[in-house]
A and B are shown apart, each in its own frame.
Chain A
Amino acid sequence: MTDASRPEVEDTVWEEREALIDRIPRWIAMTFLFVAVVAIWDLVTRMGWVSAIILPTPAETLEDLIFVGGNLIAGEYMVDALWTTTLTVAYGFLIAAGIGFSLGVLVGETKFGERAVMPYLVAIDTMPKVAFAPLFIAWLGFDIGSKVALAAFIATFPIVVATAAGLYAASENERLLFKSMGATRLQTLLRLKLPTGLPYIFTGLKIASVGVMAGAITGEFLGGGRGFGALIRQSASQLDTPRVFALILYLSLLGLALYFTVVWMQRYFVFWNKAEKPGGIG
């Protein structure tokens, strides 16, 4: 059936090239990056380009990591500090979630909230919230209370904004549907707007989980006490930089734990929203 005037042509099968970086598994990429960073770090310190007080060697840091880890496992004084900070973060987060959600519903659901309350919230949100720390210490003392207050204060606003945005997320047609079914305002809020807004609310909670850590540690820097932040400040004042690095690393585990608790809750409660997240973490 071939046309005599046309030469036989081969199938034009060709392969699309995929970049190397897209083909390697994530754990290999992560390991590679880690090794590269540590190698450069090691080189920089070994060559004496940076003073050991400013940047300790990876080996020193590892030593301190093991020491702090041992201290934590053995249940010595650092456990007490970590527990204090964990409590501060937990209380701060729960208070922020409670207040943030309530204010978010007020702002997102009522005209009064939207028109009268929201401008004040925006005004407060634009202030550097850490600057309120001395006030909280003056009001609540040097105990855990002032740290919880600062942590909660920082973490509240993202939750307010996210909740309010979430309540607006239901589409016009969905609202009309509920109206046409004769749904009350409360029914519309509970059965439509809140469930629709859950993905937004969880995004707010994730941002808050990062903020609450920052708030708690800042509070402990400024207000002393027995938390991890105080330990870090103490080590830093003794120029014990490896210890600071080690403490920060363990502290980040607390932050990760909180963050992934929120992620896990989101997966459980927002089971229908399977949208791919970039990076696949959270």
Chain B
Amino acid sequence: MSKVEPLPLELQTAVPQSLPVYEIERLSKTYARNNLTALSDVYLTIHKGEFVSVIGTSGCGKSTLLKIMAGLLPPTTGRVVLDGRPVLGPRPDIGMMFQQATLLPWKTTIENIVLPIEIREGRAAAKAAHVRAMDLLELVGLGDFPNVYPGELSGGMAQRASICRMLVADPAMLLLDEPFSALDEFTRDFMNMEFQRICMERGATAFLVTHSLEEAVILSDRIQVMKARPGRIVEDVRIDLPRPRTLEMINTQEFGEIVAHIRELLGKEAHE
């Protein structure tokens, strides 16, 4: 099922490289209950290995966009396609991560990590996935903690475990809903760098919702700037900083200019 569809002009010129993994066209979401237009005419294409962020003020519809992309919420109009197949509900090839680690306290770290497999394929398959889960724990530096209960993990460690849970089914697409925003600033910086390393090692394709400008710029290849009422993408900002990014880049002029540009875009709205 291959199809070559014309991409919207601006995106076509923006990213000419590899295969599109995720394609969203004319997406809109209206809540009939209060006749609220949460999203209006959203176009977004994410290519393999790309890291795309969406940033905007609260209530701009970015969480709604993420939920629709995850198949947790149906769109009102438009097309959402992942790996050539339309998204019509939750899918095993999507990995998700939330603001809280949401580890189940009655399961050990490794049991939490294989939970997606346990839910989909049963306990035997989950048991078999322990080897893979162990590799992931090593990858995030939690190799010594497979049998520890989440209550004994620090906030950063818990989020690393939830990274493993997101990766365990080897998803084609990672969806992240402000994953590190509950952590303190230093842990957060560290986790962002760790997350970049993990994504680069695995060639992951990721979509991040955040309201931290620095976080968006340091992690992303592209940033979608969203505005509210109705929720829409107003600019697709490319970040050409070299990889791997480092925290020192935050102090460079280029970084500062990007941050200033986006801040101005969003600041205007805050005044409106």
A contact residues vs B (CB 8 Å cutoff): 171, 173-174, 176-183, 187, 191-192, 195, 271-274
Contacts and interface: CB of A to CB of B under 8 A. Distances in A.
B100 interface: yes
Given A187-B119, A191-B119, A274-B151, A180 B94 contact: yes
Contacts of B120: 181-182
A181 B106 contact: no
Contacts, number: 49
Contact of B90 (A182, A272, A274): A182
Given A178-B119, A181-B90, A272 B105 contact: yes
A179 B90 contact: yes
The prevalent SS among residues of A at the interface is helix
Interface string B83-99: 00000011110101011
A207 to B, nearest CB: 23
A178 to B, nearest CB: 7
Nearest to B169: A181
B72 A195 contact: no
B115 interface: yes
A191 B149 CA distance: 16
16 contacts: A171-B102, A174-B104, A176-B96, A177-B102, A178-B119, A180-B70, A180-B71, A181-B115, A181-B119, A182-B92, A182-B119, A191-B119, A192-B104, A272-B151, A273-B105, A274-B151
A195 B104 contact: yes
Contacts of A179: 72, 90
Main SS class of interface, B: loop
Interface of B: 67, 70-72, 89-92, 94, 96, 98-100, 102, 104-106, 115-116, 119-120, 149, 151
Contacts of B102: 171, 173-174, 177
Contacts of A271: 106
A272 B70 contact: no
A275 to B, nearest CB: 10
Q: Which 8 A-B pairs have the closest CB atoms?
A: A272-B105, A173-B98, A182-B90, A181-B119, A180-B96, A181-B116, A183-B119, A173-B102
Q: Which of A177, A187, A191 has the most CB of B within 10 A?
A: A177
B53 to A, nearest CB: 19
Nearest to A182: B90
A177 B106 contact: no
Contacts of B90: 179-182
A174 B106 CA distance: 14
Nearest to B105: A272
Contacts of A177: 96, 98, 102
A273 B151 CA distance: 9
Contacts of A174: 102, 104
A83 B71 CA distance: 59
Given A171-B100, A180-B70, A272-B105, 14 more contacts: A171-B102, A173-B98, A174-B102, A176-B67, A176-B96, A177-B98, A178-B119, A180-B72, A182-B119, A183-B119, A191-B104, A192-B104, A272-B106, A272-B149
A173 B165 CA distance: 14
Contacts of B98: 173, 176-177
Contacts of B89: 182
Contacts of B94: 180
Nearest to A183: B119
Contact of A176 (B72, B106, B119): B72
A195 B90 CA distance: 23
A273 B105 CA distance: 8
A177 B162 CA distance: 11
Nearest to B97: A177
Nearest to A172: B98
B96 to A, nearest CB: 5
Contacts of B149: 272
Contact of B99 (A173, A182, A187): A173
A271 B71 CA distance: 35
Contacts of B99: 173
